[in-house]
A and B are shown apart, each in its own frame.
Chain A
Amino acid sequence: MEFSKQELERYSRHLIIPEFNIEGQRKLKKAKVLIVGTGGLGAPLLQYLAAAGVGTLGLVDFDVVEDSNLQRQVLFTVNDIGRSKTDAAQEKIKALNPHIEVKVHNTRLTSENTLDIIKEYDVVADGTDNFPTRYLVNDACVILGKPNVYASIFRFDGQVSVFNHTDPNGNTGPNYRDLFPSPPPPGLVPSCAEGGVLGVLPGIMGSLQASEVIKLITGIGTPLSGRLFLFEALSFKTTTLKISKNKNALPITELIDYESFCGIGAKEESQSVPEITVEELRDLRDNQEDFQLIDVREAYEYEIANLEGKLIPLKELEGKIRDIRSNKKVVVHCRSGARSAEAVQQLLTYGFENVYNLKGGILAWAEQIDPEMAKY
């Protein structure tokens, strides 16, 4: 594999590292890497791997760029808001390095399409934002024998590892299911959208991922296989723990229904409570009907945007039941409707009969009723 004069000059800082040299650069140029998710982790992954000269980069995402992405997804600018993430990312990457090929998969990964997409690549870098896709990507990598360079983040904390890596002696290291055989129940571990994340954190963790991808491709150094790296930004504490293969794990031979595996359908079903839409809430207000609006979010969320409801955070609900009037209609809301569904469930068990969950929460209100309201 040959390089043009422009490429040799571009990659010269790699070429003069003795352990890396032109052989390492050739391996990068020949490599095909799939980046799953072009979000917070995807941004540094894409930028550094493109800049480094990985010959083929695949991007998977089905989302569009939103205002709330720009605090950490530094690949995008205000001019990209509303565009498909894969299109915007492809444009940026091609501008950064015209010598590489970029393949776009503008789709949601499913059990039906994932094997076909991943089989074309040498290395997968998992930068998704949800448990079903993490287990899906892991299982597909195990079935296809592909290394899975993993990172995940929450608020101020990050994790990195290399899963399913086969060393030169043919020994394959642990995969994600060896670390966590099954996912937490929905709602226990919030996503970044629900729980927040320090904007710079995915930059740090995604860069570490990119470094591991480059090490795997070039064969230099010791990959983070069989180890889990933890970073806590607030304390600047770093820890590297050992991960072993789970001797009791069942073999992974086929892809399954990952939404069901992660309990997502069951959660929705169990949270089936009486609802009203944001349009119906607007009508209640316009008609000056007598009802009580309860906001079960946290005080810091109320500061961002509110509907002037009575603030009773979900965890305080039990102790403040007397503040809610059972003799009139009660509408409960939160950010997107999940916590308020839980609150309505609780109120029903306390004997409230005229209580409703605001479908879609304050986000739906901002989307459909009040475009001036900040979404978060």
Chain B
Amino acid sequence: MATISIPSPFRKFTAQEPEFQSKATTVNGLLQDLVATYPDIKKNLFTPEGQLLQFIKVYKGEEDIQEMNGVQTTIGEQDQLTIIPAIAGG
């Protein structure tokens, strides 16, 4: 199953779980599984129109999915995905 890392600021929506796994074959499928499991995270990932929010980056390995096929990017069992949020502390 592909694994996605949940960033610290978002773990309040995933019962503090740092990772989520899914059998989905696309980034979108994985994110929809994530939202189905943790509904509170939805409005912090997607616009009401279903687009990824602009202060969120999703990476497959070292690559930004926007540089591939966006949320339609395919994923395999060994893939490690990461959600990168904007943080501002200094």
Contact = CB atoms under 8 A, between A and B. Distances in A.
Nearest to B88: A131
Contact of B89 (A179, A197, A228): A197
Interface string B51-66: 0011101010011100
Interface residues of A, number: 44
Contacts of A190: 9
A189 B88 contact: yes
Nearest to B87: A154
Given A156-B8, A189-B9, A230-B84, A41 B90 contact: yes
Interface in A149-167: 151-157, 159
Given A188-B9, A241-B59, A40 B88 contact: no
B8 A40 contact: no
Contact of A195 (B9, B44, B67): B9
Interface string B1-15: 000000111001000
Interface string B61-90: 011100100000000000000101111111
Interface string A7-36: 000000000000000000000000000000
A180 B8 contact: no
Contact of B86 (A41, A42, A131, A151): A131
A202 interface: yes
Nearest to A151: B90
A42 B90 contact: yes
Interface stretch (A79-87, A122-130, A267-275, A287-295): A122-130
A188 B90 CA distance: 17
A77 interface: no
Interface of A: 37, 39-42, 126-131, 134, 151-157, 159, 179-184, 188-192, 195, 197, 202, 228, 230, 235, 239-244, 315
24 contacts: A126-B90, A128-B88, A129-B89, A131-B86, A131-B88, A153-B87, A153-B89, A153-B90, A156-B8, A157-B8, A157-B87, A159-B87, A182-B54, A184-B53, A184-B55, A184-B86, A189-B86, A192-B90, A195-B89, A228-B84, A230-B82, A239-B62, A244-B64, A244-B67
